[in-house]
């Protein structure tokens, strides 16, 4: 988005402009940014270059995150080939699966590794994140093993609530719930 503004020839951007694009208000943008220091110029706005740098640092995007994909099934393969992860700094350094038929299969540059190697791969490759794309029944165990091996965050596709220590963030992707959210909004609109 900031790139678009630069392409339009802007070197600075006001909270008002950011708000319009981000479906929010100018005051909100300023409050949010002020939490991370004050780097806007009064009367002018924010330097797009500086804003990009700051956001990169604030969001922790100023480095490449090493990710291990656990579960080489349907959703796993779609995710593996999703180019945006790499583009945005998430490097899938390994894929593991428990199915002997899949182990050894070549996916692009990577070979599917056996699930038993999960801990050693996390340590050797210094992976910080895992993507959990295994059946719900396996999710809790695999998550625990990952955390014990040193993983710092989990993106969970299994439709279960995973229990891990408080300081390990977990983001859940529950597509059924997203559809249910749509159903709810549609239903509510009809019966107020």
Ligand X SMILES: NC(=O)c1ccc[n+]([C@@H]2O[C@H](COP(=O)([O-])OP(=O)(O)OC[C@H]3O[C@@H](n4cnc5c(N)ncnc54)[C@H](O)[C@@H]3O)[C@@H](O)[C@H]2O)c1
Dist. CA 143–CA 185, nearest whole Å: 33
Site for DNA in 35-94 (CB under 7 A): 38-46
Residue 161 sits in the site that holds DNA (CB under 7 A): no
Q: Are 55 and 47 in contact (CB under 8 A)?
A: no
**Measured from the CB atom, is 22 or 41 closer to a copy of itself?**
22
Dist. CA 59–CA 85, nearest whole Å: 15
Q: Which has the closest alpha carbon to 21: 7, 34, 2?
A: 2
Residue 72 sits in the site that holds ligand X (CB under 6 A): yes
- When CB distances are held under 5 to 8 angstroms depending on the partner's kind, the choice from a copy of itself, ligand X, DNA, none that residue 167 binds is a copy of itself
Phi and psi at residue 29, in whole multiples of 5°?
-60, -45
Measured from the CB of residue 78, what is the shortest distance to a copy of itself in angstroms? 4
Residue 99 sits in the site that holds ligand X (CB under 6 A): yes
Checking phi first, is residue 126 left (phi over 0); if not, alpha (psi -120 to 50) or beta? left
Of the listed pieces 8-16, 70-78, 87-95, 178-186, which binds ligand X according to CB under 6 A?
70-78
Residue 15 sits in the site that holds DNA (CB under 7 A): yes
Q: Which residues bind a copy of itself (CB under 8 A)?
A: 21, 23, 58-61, 65, 67, 74-75, 77-79, 81-82, 84-85, 88, 90, 128-129, 152-155, 159, 161, 167, 169, 171, 173, 175-176, 178-189
Question: For the residues of 12-55, what is the DSSP string, one character each?
Answer: EE-HHHHHHHHTS-HHHHHHHHHTT----BTTTBEEHHHHHHHH
- When CB distances are held under 5 to 8 angstroms depending on the partner's kind, the choice from ligand X, DNA, a copy of itself, none that residue 34 binds is DNA
Q: Are 146 and 122 in contact (CB under 8 A)?
A: yes
Spatial neighbors of 91 by CB under 8 A, at least 6 apart, are 64, 65, 66, 67, 85
In the complex, the residues that contact DNA under the rule CB under 7 A are 14-16, 24-28, 30-31, 33-34, 38-46
In the complex, the residues that contact ligand X under the rule CB under 6 A are 70-76, 78-79, 81-82, 84, 96-99, 102, 115, 133-136, 138, 142, 157-159, 175
């Amino acid at each position: 988005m900031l790139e678009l503004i630069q392409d339009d020839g802007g070197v600075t951007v006001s909270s008002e402009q950011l708000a319009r694009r981000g479906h929010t208000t100018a005051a909100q943008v300023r409050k949010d940014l002020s939490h991370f220091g004050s780097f806007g110029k009064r009367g002018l706005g924010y330097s797009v270059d500086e804003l990009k740098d700051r956001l990169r640092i604030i969001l922790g995007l100023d480095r490449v995150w090493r990710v291990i994909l656990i579960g080489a099934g349907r959703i796993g393969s779609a995710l593996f080939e999703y180019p945006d992860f790499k583009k945005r700094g998430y490097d899938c350094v390994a894929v593991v699966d428990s199915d002997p038929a899949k182990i050894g299969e070549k996916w692009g540059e990577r070979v599917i590794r056996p699930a038993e190697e999960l801990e050693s791969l996390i340590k050797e490759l210094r992976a910080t994140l895992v993507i959990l794309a295994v059946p719900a029944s396996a999710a809790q165990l695999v998550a625990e093993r990952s955390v014990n091996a040193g993983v710092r965050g989990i993106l969970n596709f299994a439709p279960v609530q995973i229990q891990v220590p408080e300081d390990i963030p977990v983001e859940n992707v529950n597509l059924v719930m997203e559809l249910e959210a749509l159903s709810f909004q549609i239903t509510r609109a009809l019966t107020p």
